[in-house]
Chains A and B, each alone.
Chain A
Amino acid sequence: MKSIWIIAKLSVLENSRKQVFHVLCLLILAVIAGSTLLSVFTEGVKIKMLKDLCMSCILFAGAVLSIGLAAGGVPNDVENRVVYPILARPIMRWQYVCGKFLGTVMTVGLAILALSVVFGVLIYYNQGQIDTFLLTAASFALLEATVIAAVATALSTATTPAIAVLLSFLMYLLGSIKIGYLSKLLDRVPDSLAKTGGMMFYHLLPNLECFNLKAALVHNNSVPISYLALVIFYGVCYAAFALAVAALIFKRREV
């Protein structure tokens, strides 16, 4: 565990130098600027739109950062040869992959935390009270980012960073419409080899919709604890599976 933690810390330091936080500052400024335009709406609508804007921003930032950082993490280290002195130490390849992944999740976590704090203050300023559910929704956005980062890490160990980014974005888009649209689309396809292949792909694809608690936040709906627990279990299992695949591929890879 110590080796994973050391590599994760190094990865966070490395990620923080990739101008990630500049992008976040731009996002925050965009949302704050956008919030001033909402004054034309009635108070209730304004708050709902503000929460929608903030949560969309957190989800988007989480996805973009996790893909951007995870897809490049391992292959860039191999390409820049910084991986050699580290792998020459008594560590296992899977520890290296897990360390890089953990570093990505920690960086994204810091970014989501920063966004949540700023947006929490913004909502408090407009609503007059603290919305604690924002923290829950942001935590599930981080869980979604964790799943995306795990898949991006697995893809990055098998392909080039550019292809890994492309495939990860595709996975993110399809995973975000899996239940709502993709399942209905597959129902319309007649039974054939294409449908079988499509169903296999469908089941492999992560269901990213389940992590999105934006609607509950906007409409002040309560979410059952059992559902949240199930989503956490699903997210952790999916990320662990993707990470195991990443570790297996990287173990066999020649660097």
Chain B
Amino acid sequence: MTLPIRTENLSKVYKLPGKQPRRALNSLSIEVPEGVIFGFLGPNGAGKTTTIKILLDFIRPTFGIANLFGQPTHDPSVRRLVGYLPEQPYFHRFLKPAELLSLHASLCGMSSREVRNAVADALEQVGMNEYADTPIGKLSKGLTQRVGIAQALVGNPKLLILDEPTSGLDPIGRRHIRDLLIKLKQEGRTIFLSSHLLGEVESLCDIVAVVKNGSLVTCGRPEQICSATTYLKVYTAPARSDDIERLQFLNAHIECRADATIFRTEPGNAYELFRALDQLGLRLIKVETERESLEEAFLRLAA
């Protein structure tokens, strides 16, 4: 079975005249199986956009292999199977959404009848029917983002490469797109999702890869990445500021609330924490354990 995305030792070095070469990707090897939502995470400058650009043949790798459905990325015919949403999508502002989608459907090689159906279908999927004839330049950022997603859906692609798909959307719009992505996955499509909204990635993605400085840090199911550490959350009566000062030596995150002070630390620090709280006479309210979220795992891995 051919994988929708496969990279092997993918490296990219940018050489700028008069400047030191900058390594944007460093032997990145990833495999994206069919029918999954694959989250691609990393801090700014980690190499996410560079990877996407190589996958779509906007730039060429300095070294390594990048394949889409078993074909090299420089083969344009393979892009018939791909829908792409760029980060902050820019389109010709004078075009109307229906015109833009029609243009992209035509570029996919559809007949005029297929184009009409594809445009109506894509607009329906992102809930943009009422804005079909409004110039894109007059749409809000969120609506433009929806047009971008509709554009990616045109051509019935088997693989969707989405760079920050919910950026600029309001909570309702985000929910709508999240439901749409789940529906697309259920239809058997593969979704390669680059996003900074980690809660969203955690709830949506089957597999998550974290990159840092152009290298793969980890790749696996969200629970595999997060389960390594469990945190202890200790609630006490509100502590005075001088008590907080005295507790700074603890390796704990302290959150002061009106009704309680919360100490969050790794289980290994429990004895030291409880002894310090006892010495200060802080009344214990409750103790709970908390699994590391993807956001925390991301910060731990990528910081």
Contacts and interface: CB of A to CB of B under 8 A. Distances in A.
B80 interface: yes
Given A90-B76, A90-B107, A92-B76, A17 B60 contact: no
A85 B87 CA distance: 11
A180 to B, nearest CB: 40
Contacts of A23: none
A90 B77 CA distance: 5
Interface in A66-95: 80-82, 84-92
B108 A85 contact: no
Contacts of A14: 92, 94
Contacts of B89: 85
Given A85-B84, A90-B76, A2 B60 contact: no
Interface string B71-82: 000001111101
A168 to B, nearest CB: 24
Nearest to B83: A88
A80 B88 CA distance: 11
A87 B92 contact: no
B104 A85 contact: yes
Interface string B142-165: 000000100100010000010000
Contacts of A17: 94
Interface in A3-54: 3, 6, 10, 13-14, 17
B77 to A, nearest CB: 6
B293 interface: no
A85 B145 CA distance: 13
Interface of B: 56-60, 76-80, 82, 84, 86, 88-92, 94-95, 103-104, 106-109, 148, 151, 155, 161
A13 B135 CA distance: 13
B109 A90 contact: yes
Given A3-B107, A81-B86, A88 B56 contact: yes
Nearest to A17: B94
A118 interface: no
B76 A6 contact: no
A254 B76 contact: no
A130 interface: no
Given A90-B108, A255-B58, 9 more contacts: A6-B107, A13-B95, A81-B86, A85-B86, A88-B56, A88-B86, A89-B155, A90-B79, A254-B60
Given A88-B79, A90-B109, A10 B91 contact: no
7 contacts: A13-B94, A81-B86, A89-B79, A89-B104, A90-B79, A91-B107, A255-B58
A81 B90 contact: yes
Interface of A: 2-3, 6, 10, 13-14, 17, 80-82, 84-92, 254-255
A13 B91 CA distance: 13
A3 to B, nearest CB: 6
A3 B108 CA distance: 9
A205 to B, nearest CB: 28
A129 to B, nearest CB: 42
Contacts of B161: 88
Nearest to A84: B86
A82 B107 contact: no
Nearest to B88: A81
B107 A89 contact: yes
A10 B86 contact: no
A7 to B, nearest CB: 8
Contacts of B82: 88
Nearest to A95: B76
A88 B55 CA distance: 10
A75 to B, nearest CB: 15
B139 to A, nearest CB: 15
A91 B76 CA distance: 6
Nearest to B14: A254
A124 B183 CA distance: 67
Nearest to B76: A90
B192 to A, nearest CB: 13
Given A6-B103, A90-B108, A91-B76, A85 B94 contact: no
Contacts of A92: 76
A13 B103 CA distance: 12
Nearest to A81: B90
Contacts of A10: 92, 95, 103
Nearest to B59: A254
A214 B271 CA distance: 97
A2 B108 CA distance: 10
